[in-house]
């Protein structure tokens, strides 16, 4: 089954731009040879890292959006792990997130339709709003306190 993944990896900052392009091309061919599709390649450029990784304070970020099955992603991760210029990577499955967002959008659309209808009908009624009755109050704690004071 084909799923959608985001693979972000960080290349050493001292790597040349041509080397980064070769790495991306190699990873893309690895995905396509396995039967997957590279949807998007986003070279985010050189950025500062949050903490030092392999004695580097910054790196070149690359984001791949890949549609493939699990075996292809495992092979891609293996290649990322053994590639010397890659200092860090992460793979995230995003198809479930897209389904969740679509469901939330659909739910919001139905809520907007429902909230628009009662608002129009509530203005039409001219009678006062019903008031809820207060719950009965028990006198047992007061009687217990009076009994304790009387015995003392």
Q: Could you say which DSSP state residue 16 is in?
A: -
Tell me, what's the pLDDT at 123? 55
Contact residues for 77 (Cβ-Cβ < 8 A; gap 6+): 7, 89, 91
CA angle 11, 13, 16 (to 5 degrees): 85
Tell me, what's the pLDDT at 23? 94
Q: Are 42 and 4 in contact (CB under 8 A)?
A: no
Question: What pLDDT, in 10s, does the model give residues 87-145?
Answer: 999 999 998 888 888 888 888 888 777 777 665 555 555 556 666 666 665 556 666 66
Tell me, what's the pLDDT at 20? 95
CATH (one of 2.130.10.10, 3.30.300.30, 3.30.70.60, 3.40.50.970) for 3-97: 3.30.70.60
> Is residue 27 helix, strand or coil?
helix
Question: What pLDDT, in 10s, does the model give residues 53-96?
Answer: 999 999 999 999 999 999 999 999 999 999 999 999 999 999 88
Tell me, what's the pLDDT at 129? 60
Whether residue 1 is predicted with pLDDT greater than 90 in this model: the reply is no
Give the C-alpha separation, 103 to 92, whole Å. Answer: 20
Tell me, what's the pLDDT at 10? 97
Tell me, what's the pLDDT at 107? 87
pTM over 0.85: no
Question: What pLDDT, in 10s, does the model give residues 11-47?
Answer: 999 999 999 999 999 999 999 999 999 999 999 999 9
Domain range annotation of the chain: 3-97
Tell me, what's the pLDDT at 13? 95
Tell me, what's the pLDDT at 47? 95
Which tokens sit at 81?
A: 């792990």
Contact residues for 92 (Cβ-Cβ < 8 A; gap 6+): 5, 6, 7, 8
Buried b (16+ CB within 10 A) or exposed e, 16-32: eeeebeebbeebbebbe
């Amino acid at each position: 089954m084909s799923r959608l993944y985001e693979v972000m990896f960080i290349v050493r900052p001292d790597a040349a731009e041509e080397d980064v392009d070769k790495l991306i091309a190699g990873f893309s061919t690895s995905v396509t040879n396995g039967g997957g599709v590279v949807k998007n390649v986003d070279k985010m450029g050189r950025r500062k890292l949050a903490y030092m990784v392999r004695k580097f304070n910054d790196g070149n970020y690359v984001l791949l959006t890949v549609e493939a099955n699990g075996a292809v992603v495992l092979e891609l991760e293996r290649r990322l792990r053994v590639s010397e210029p890659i200092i860090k990577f992460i793979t995230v499955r995003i198809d479930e997130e897209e389904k969740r967002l679509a469901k939330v959008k659909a739910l919001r659309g139905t809520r907007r339709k429902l909230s628009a209808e009662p608002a129009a009908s509530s203005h039409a009624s001219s009678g006062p709003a019903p008031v809820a009755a207060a719950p009965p109050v028990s006198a047992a704690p007061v009687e217990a306190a009076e009994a304790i004071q009387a015995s003392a």
